[in-house]
Amino acid sequence: MNVDCLRHRLTPDEREFFETNGYLVVENALDATTVARLIAAADRIDARERTDATRTKLLSITNIVHEDPALIDLIDCPTTFPKVWGILGWNSYLYHSHVDVTPPADEQALNWRVAWHQDSMRVNDEIETHPRPRLSLKIGYYLTDTSQPNRGNTLVLAGSQLQDEIDCPADGVSNPAGAEPLCVKAGTAIFIDRRVWHSRSPNLWNETRKVVWYGYGYRWLRPKDAMTVSHLYPQLDPIRRQILGDGLSANGVYDPLDGDVPLRGWLREHCPEDAERNPAGRSQSRPPSMVRGKNLGRQ
C-alpha cells in the first residue's frame, strides 16, 4: 500500500460529520480514468445479467470484485480506504460488494415503493442493544452524475443511525420528514453507516444511474454474498488479501496474530496512532486480555 494514501486519513471534521449524520461525502474520490474503467466493468455485468423483464428496473448484482481488475483496485482505494480503517479500525475487511444500474424509469417502473431500511436485516432484530452497533459501513462509488434530485439518488435521514425505528408514512411512496437525496457528481464516494435509515429512489432523468457499492465490516462478521475471491489471493499483496478475507485461522478474526492482519503491521510502521486506536477512538496499547485490571486470559 502506497504511503501517499495517508494524505486521505479521516480528519477530525470528517469523523464528527460521520458520527453526527451517519454518512460522509468524499468528492473527487475517483479520477475520470478510473470512473471510465469502472463504467466499462459495470456495463459488461449489466449486459450479461439484464433481461427484458428488467429493462427499465434497478438491477443490483452482488459478488462483483472478481469481475474486473478495476474492481480489485477499488478495494483499497487510496482516497477512501484510509477513512475505512479510521472508522472501523484495522481488524476489518470487505464482506460485500454489488453494482447497481438504474435505467431511466418508464411509467411501469414508476410503480415503485420506498424501501426505507437499515442494512443487515436480521442483525437489527437480534442484537440486544440500543442504539444498535455500527458493525459495518458501505461506500457507494458514483459513476454517473446524480448532482440533482430525481436521478436515482440515495435518500438518507441524517442522524437516524441512532434510531431503532423511524416514523415513515404508510402509503409506501412518501418519505419521512427530514429525508434528503444525496446529490453528488460522478467520481464521488459516499460512506454510509449501515444503521442510518436510507432508501432507493426512482431515476426520472434521461441517463442511467450506475453505482458500485463496497461493504466493509469487522473480520468476524460473515460475508454478505458469495465473495468469490480466494482464487485472487496468489496475485495480491498481504493487505489486499486481508481486505478480501484471507487469514491464518478461524480464531484469527477474534484474536488476530500479526499474520492475520498485515494492515495493523503497516499502520504500526507508517501511522502508529491508527495502529493503537480502536474504532471508538480509545488507545489499544493495553493487552486485550486485560479488562478493568483482571487478566481474563484467552477465551
Domains of the chain listed by start with CATH number: 3-295 (2.60.120.620)
What cell numbers appear for 217 in the block? 465490516
What would the pLDDT profile of 215-242 be if each residue is shown by its tens digit? 999 999 999 999 999 999 999 999 999 9
- The C-alpha atoms of residue 255 and residue 56 are separated, in whole angstroms, by 47
pLDDT confidence of 35, banded at 50, 70, 90? very high
In the structure grid, which three cell numbers stand for residue 165, read together? 425505528
Question: Quick one: what percent of the chain has pLDDT higher than 90?
Answer: 81
CA-wise closest residue to 93 among 268, 262, 271, 255: 262
Mean pLDDT of 155-166: 96
Average pLDDT score over the chain? 91
Omega before residue 131 within 30° of 0, cis: yes
| Residue 112 confidence (pLDDT) | 64
Q: What is the percent of the chain where pLDDT is above 70?
A: 91
**Residue 102 contacts residue 150 (beta carbons within 8 Å):** no
Is 155 a residue whose pLDDT tops 90? yes
Q: Check residue 172 and give its pLDDT.
A: 76
Give the confidence band of 94 by pLDDT, cuts at 50, 70, 90. very high
How many other CB atoms are there within 10 angstroms of residue 166's CB atom? 15
Nearest in space to 87 (alpha carbons), one of 168, 159, 24: 24
Q: Residue 245 corresponds to which amino acid?
A: G
Q: Which residues pair with 184 in a beta bridge?
A: 146
Residue 107 pLDDT: 66
Dihedral angle sign, alpha carbons of residues 179, 162, 282, 85? negative
**Which H or E element spans position 13?**
helix 12-21
At 232-281, the pLDDT tens digits run: 999 999 999 999 999 988 899 999 999 999 999 999 999 999 999 877 65
Q: Are 21 and 159 in contact (CB under 8 A)?
A: yes
